[in-house]
Amino acid sequence: MAISDNGGEKVGVVTSLARFPVKSMAGEPSEMLDLRWPGFHGDRQYTFCRTGDQTRFPWLSARDLSSLVLYRPAYRDPRDPRNSPVDVLLPSGAQIPVEDPALAARISHEAGRDVQLMQVGRGVFDAMPVSLASTASLTAIDAVHGKPLDARRFRLNIVIESSVEEAGWSSGRLIFGDDEQGAQLLVNAGIPRCALITIDPDTAERDPSVMRTVARSFGNKVGVYCATARPGVIRLGDRVRLVR
């Protein structure tokens, strides 16, 4: 593997970026994302909680209600997600503000129990704030599964076009772009997968065979969790270098 002029091993180029304004709803594709200490600005800032649920995981998830993935939220002002209103495009094609009580009522009806909206500025994450994968690992999954799988199933913040699978980057530091003072991520462990990956992002139909492929051939892990090593902006097309 070639060594870049500014140090580090060049591992690929950013080919996809997304954040998720509302937990378990569809992602919002982006050309650039602002990486801060808690993660990407505006990622998983909203969530619907089961009313009265006092457990450690009160969030309503697509594991409970598959149709959540068909709801498409977006910030009106993508540059200022903390203060920007969020509009949600419904499966019907109508649009509604995320804070409109009619949206919570609709989701409550679909879920069969009352839910309420919660806003958490630093994000609602299951484990760590940033997830990424390489095209090499996604291609390997497609090959074993026998047909292409939409990468949106894995709800990744970053996809890096690379001939190297991201599992080999664990415990390393990824540098994005050409500025040594720019965004950097610490690569942690692989991401254990759940039933969310069985849900088609366009139809909400479940395909259990996806879970079987990932569990049997990939140790039930796709992608890696990351934490912020240095805040900054990550852009589509940024080259990515690995430092150990």
Per-residue model confidence (pLDDT) at position 3: 40
Per-residue model confidence (pLDDT) at position 5: 47
Q: Rg (Cα) of the chain, in Å, rounded?
A: 18
Per-residue model confidence (pLDDT) at position 12: 97
Cα–Cα distance measured from residue 242 to residue 179, given in angstroms and rounded to the nearest whole number: 14
What pLDDT band is residue 227 in, cutting at 50, 70 and 90?
Answer: very high
pLDDT top residue among 178 and 160: 160
CATH numbers and ranges of domains, the chain: 9-243 (2.40.33.20)
Q: 143-173, pLDDT tens digit by residue?
A: 999 999 999 999 999 999 999 999 999 999 9
Q: 189-224, pLDDT tens digit by residue?
A: 999 999 999 999 999 999 999 999 999 999 999 999
Q: Which of 5-14, 20-29, 39-48, 169-178 has the lowest mean pLDDT?
A: 5-14
Strand pairing report for 130-134 and 232-235: unpaired
